[in-house]
Amino acid sequence: MRLYHSPTTPFGRKVMVLILELGLQDRIDIADVMGTPLAPGTLPVDQNPLGKIPALQTEDGVIYDSRVICRYLNDLAGGAMYPGGAAQWKTLTLEATIDGILEAALAMVYEVRLRPADKQFPEWIEAQWLKAARALDVIEADWMDHLSGPLTMPQIAMGCALDYLDFRLDARGWRDGRPKLAAWAAEFADRPAMLATKPVAV
């Protein structure tokens, strides 16, 4: 298998952390790619017509996006990152909420990095942050019990999302008013798989 990935993408990092946690690293080649929505560069447009990463080439075809890849790898390894029965719906909802935080954060980053200053839309940027902040508040208030116990995919997604906020949007101070999430993130960041995949600014 081959994973098309960039070290700075939080969605790709979710997959990379899962690969390490499941012990699949010897079965997957990593192809580092680079590009943006404006200039695809080496993004795998032949493998994913949307030009998004991560994308996983398997012997049965290409799989994308990150949530689909994570479900596939978990099943492949016989992992327990997703519970069965009624509990799976809360797990999937929490994972979708966390991915929504990342989507809002990426939209903010792209607005600043890809648009000329005179074409940026500050109100739209703030609206994206409001979405992310609301989701963080809800997780702090209602979902912390789902971030404890045996490792699950939402825990990996949450760790990668909070690290991405530190990496690209540190000035937003996501920890303010969220002491439980802050404490959880500090502990989760020390997992070997998180340390091995920590992004470096480019």
Q: What number of other Cβ atoms are within 10 A of residue 26's Cβ?
A: 6
The pLDDT-based confidence of 133 (bands split at 50, 70, 90) is very high
Residues 6+ apart with CB under 8 A from 78: none
SS3 31: strand
Predicted pLDDT at 159: 98
* 65 cis-preceded (ω within 30 degrees of 0): yes
Tell me the pLDDT of the chain averaged across its residues. Answer: 95
Is residue 68 within a helix (H) or strand (E), and if so which, with residue range? helix 66-77
Residue whose C-alpha is closest to residue 156's, from 109, 85, 102: 102
Question: What SS3 state is found at 30?
Answer: strand
- Domains observed in the chain: 2-77 (3.40.30.10), 87-196 (1.20.1050.10)
Write down the pLDDT at residue 202. Answer: 62
pTM of the model: 0.95
Q: Does residue 37 surpass a pLDDT of 90?
A: no
